[in-house]
Amino acid sequence: MKQMAIDMAFQNPDVMTRVVWMGPVPIITTGCTRDIEKILGSSKQLDKGFFYRMLRPWLGNGLLLNKGQSWHHRRKLLTPSFHFTILTSFVDIFNEKAQILAKKLSDLAGSKPVDIFPLVTNCTLDVICGTAMGIDIGAQKGNNSEYCQAIIEMSDVIQERQKYPWLWIDAIYNLLPNGRKHKRYLEILHGMTQSVIQERMKEKSRQNGTKSEKSVANGNPTKKKKRAFLDLLLDLHEENSNFTLDEVREEVDTFMFEGHDTTSASISWTLFMIGHHPKVQEKVHQELDRVFGDDKERSITTDDIAKLKYLGYVIKETLRLYPSVPMIARQLEENTTLSGNFVPKGTVVLVGIYFMQRSGVYFSNPDEFNPDNFLPENVEGRDPFSYIPFSAGPRNCIGQKFATMEEKVILATLLRKLEFRSLQSIDDVTPIGNLILRPYDGISMEVKLRQ
């Protein structure tokens, strides 16, 4: 039902703002940049709306779901954790996990068609567990742990629940098979995060004791262990007692949810588009050869990432056509006017990113894959709200630099060694837009070793 309502709302994206019904709920759908700026650019319209309520048992009041002054405080508290100098410390993990994926695909090169989506998903799961919690779950090595499966399945059951209004009622949902699955996955996910937090707290306590002893003994300090996002949050907890351990768990869970599915979708769709456009793939290979020469094994550095400009345009153009988050919602916290019409407080507004970014109003030949759309001279003067794959305004994605760096490292690692050819036509791969824009039946590709 949700998908049908969205399709009806945006079957003509040049008609910008209209009303549709999702079950018993009236929704304002918009692809008009003036209206989008009014909503997303506001420091007051921060409530994500009741559709996100299905995520609350898992993510609590993490940054994705929080609102009002509490959100402002949490965002200000967490922003330094995403500073560029901190993100650079994660590049080693990006490289390590990308090399594992490149080895798996190299072993499959020249054989039968490969569905890249689950392989990429396992890679991004390894990355997010390493960077968020400092643990190695070995998803790419076949260690299909309970946690690994639960995080994938939880997203699926939540997306399924959002589609059907009768499942929005907790008393009904909790009695159904998916409701019982939801409860079991929740226990696994929260149990893992809490156990890692407790172990990290004990480790910090031991390290503090060791530091004290070495200071007295004037000994040489041991090599510092790489720090995860969780360690930064625990530092914030020690510095600010109002930031509780429960809130630490909420933010780690939020980072886990937002940080693996979105990047796996973006990387997979990028390979799909590259596999359809040999000339684009050749330009990417030429850029990689200029930066790395014949060395296909050297780890990628932050300096390398900055030099991969054309690869960046390719990623951006893919996110224009296949934004990882195809739509976002706001529940208005005050009366407003959209397209000249009064809209009362409490109304849900759905921003159709997928459809708006494919509109001929903002892009010429909007359905054509053209990375040159993001050359500096073509971006200049374009409405900034016409391209918002990471949302926009004060509530934009706090992790977009992290995601961009990760995607560049993984894609560059693969494309230094491999060539890709898409085996399905663009029309044959159906994107399913719920929480994340996924391919309905996977993405089948031919993989070859680069000569």
Residue 397 marked as a ligand binder: yes
Question: What distance in Å separates the CA atoms of residue 241 and residue 409, rounded to the nearest whole number?
Answer: 37
Sorted by sequence, the CB contacts under 8 Å of residue 323 that are 6+ apart come out as: 353, 354, 357, 389, 437
Contact between 237 and 173 (Cβ < 8 Å): no
- The length of the chain, given as a count of residues: 451
Token pair 């991004």 is found at 124
Q: At what angle do helices 116-132 and 400-417 cross, to 10 degrees?
A: 130
Sorted by sequence, the CB contacts under 8 Å of residue 173 that are 6+ apart come out as: 161, 167, 179, 182
- With b for 16 or more beta-carbon neighbours within 10 A and e for fewer, the 13-44 pattern comes to beebbeebebeeeebbbbbbbebbbbbbebee
- Rounded to the nearest angstrom, the gap between the alpha carbon of residue 62 and the centroid of all alpha carbons in its chain is 15
- How far, CA to CA in Å, does 185 sit from each of 127, 174, 178? 21, 13, 10
Question: What distance in Å separates the CA atoms of residue 415 and residue 413, rounded to the nearest whole number?
Answer: 6
- What's the N-to-C CA distance of the chain in angstroms? 49
- Rounded to the nearest angstrom, the gap between the alpha carbon of residue 344 and the centroid of all alpha carbons in its chain is 31
- With b for 16 or more beta-carbon neighbours within 10 A and e for fewer, the 415-448 pattern comes to bbbbbbebebeeeebebebbbbbbbeebbbbbbe
Question: What distance in Å separates the CA atoms of residue 305 and residue 74, rounded to the nearest whole number?
Answer: 30
Query: Binding-site residues for heme, please?
Result: 397
Query: Binding-site residues, please?
Result: 397
